[in-house]
Amino acid sequence: MKRKKASAKHLFFFIDYRLFIPLLVLILIGLFAIMDVSAPRAMEIFSDRFYFVKQQLVWVIVGLFVFLIISQINVTIWSKFALYIYLLSIIFLILVLIPGISAKTLGARRWLNLGFFGFQPSEFAKLALCIYLAKLAANKRKLISFLLPIILTSSLVMLQPDLGTTIVIGIIAFSQLVFSGVDLRKILIIGICAIVVVFLLIIMSDYRRERLQAFLNPITSDQSDNYHIKQILYSLAIGGVSGSGIGQSKQKYLFLPEATTDSIMAIVAEETGFLGVSIILGIYIFISLRMATSLKKVKDDFLIVLAIGISSWFTGQAFINLGSVSSLLPFTGVPLPFISYGGSTLLTMLTAFAIFNSVLKYSQRYEW
C-alpha cells in the first residue's frame, strides 16, 4: 500500500523517529558508560557506586519529558521571545562571574547554585544565541547586529574562563552567519579574525599554552603538562581493536581526569576498542546527516537558520570532544553530547533537539 502524506503540523503528535531513536541509543550508551566509569569515584566520595548514574538518570527523565513537550510546541514562539531569552542568558552569564553567587572550581566560575541543583549558564547561552541569531537572520539585519551578541556572549564565557565552550559558540555563530544572507567575504574575514583571537588567547594563558605544547609533544618529560593527554593515549592503546572488555578499564580507577565528562570516550575506547568506538561514531555521523538531509524542505529563514545552528552545535561539539580524545585536536574540555555526565548539558541539548523536531513538524510533510 502506498504511504499517505500528511502535513506534519496537522498531526497532534509528531516525532522524527529516525532522529529520536539514535538519540535515545546515545543516551542509553551514556548511562551505561557513566555507571561503569564513575563507580570508583562514587565509592570513594559517596560510598555508593551508582551515585552518579542515578543523578544522570534523573536528568534523562526530566530531559525526555521536556523534549516531548517542547517538540510539539509551535516553533514560531521562539521567534517572538528570542530577545528575552537571549537577555536572560546574558544575565545568567554575568551572575556566574560574581563571587558569592557562584563557586570557583579549578580556577573557573562556570556554575550557578540554584539550591537543589547546579546550573551551567554557558550551556543555556548556546541555545539562546542560536535562537536570537536566527531571529536576526529572519529580520535581514546587518552584520553588526550579529557581531554584537556573538562578541558579548563569547566574551562573558571567556571570562569564566571556558575556551572550549567559546569555540563551540563560534562554530554555531559562523554556521548561522553563512545561512543568514551576510556577505560571505565578510564572514571569511570574521572567521580568520576569530582564529587569530583564539590563538592569542592560547598563547597568553599559561595553562592553555601548556595544553598546546602537550598536544604537539605528548611524550615529554614534564609530567604536569601532559598528564591528561598521556592517560587518554594509554586508554586508547590498551583498548586496541576489540577493547579490554566492558567493566575492565584500569584507567577509570582515578588515573584519568574528568573520566565521566570530557574524557568519557577514552574509557569507552579502552573497554570496547576500535570496534565499539566505530559504532558510536557511526551513530553521531548518522544523526548529523539526518539533521542535514531533513532540512531540504525548510524554507522559512528563521527556521532554517535556527535548525542549522542546532545541527552545527551538536556536530561541532561532538567533533571537538572526539578530536581531543583521539589527539587530533588540542584538549579543550567540552562534554560529549548525550554521553558525558552532566545535567545542564543533557537538558539543554535535549531542548535544542526538541526545537529541531518542532522545526520539522511545522515545515514539512510527513509520510505515514
CA gyration radius for the chain?
21
Q: In what order do the strands lie in the sheet with 102-105?
A: 102-105, 108-113, 118-119
pLDDT string in tens for the chain (368-residue length): 344 455 555 567 889 999 999 999 999 999 999 999 888 888 888 888 889 999 999 999 999 999 999 999 999 899 999 999 999 999 999 998 888 777 666 667 777 876 666 788 999 999 999 999 999 998 887 888 899 999 999 999 988 888 889 999 999 999 999 888 777 787 888 888 888 887 777 777 666 676 666 666 666 545 555 777 778 888 888 888 888 888 888 887 767 777 888 889 989 999 999 999 999 999 999 999 999 999 887 888 899 999 999 999 999 999 999 988 887 777 777 899 999 998 889 999 999 999 999 999 888 654 43
| Grid cell for residue 155 | 566574551
Q: Which amino acid belongs to residue 193? A: C
The full DSSP string for 121-182 is HHHHHHHHHHHHHHHHHHTT--HHHHHHHHHHHHHHHHTS--HHHHHHHHHHHHHHHHTTT-
Rounded Cα distance between 212 and 229, Å, is: 11
This prediction has a pTM of 0.90
**∠ CA(19), CA(52), CA(112), 5° rounding?**
85
- Pairing of the two strands 108-113 and 102-105: antiparallel
Are the CB atoms for 33 and 267 separated by under 8 Å?
A: yes
Q: Which amino acid belongs to residue 81? A: F
**Residue 99, helix vs strand vs coil:** strand
Paired with 102 in beta bridges are: 99, 112
Rounded Cα distance between 41 and 12, Å, is: 45
Torsion of CA 214, 194, 343, 47, to 10 degrees: 20
Rounded Cα distance between 347 and 63, Å, is: 5
Q: At what angle do helices 143-158 and 163-178 cross, to 10 degrees?
A: 170
| Residue 34 CA, distance from chain mean position | 17
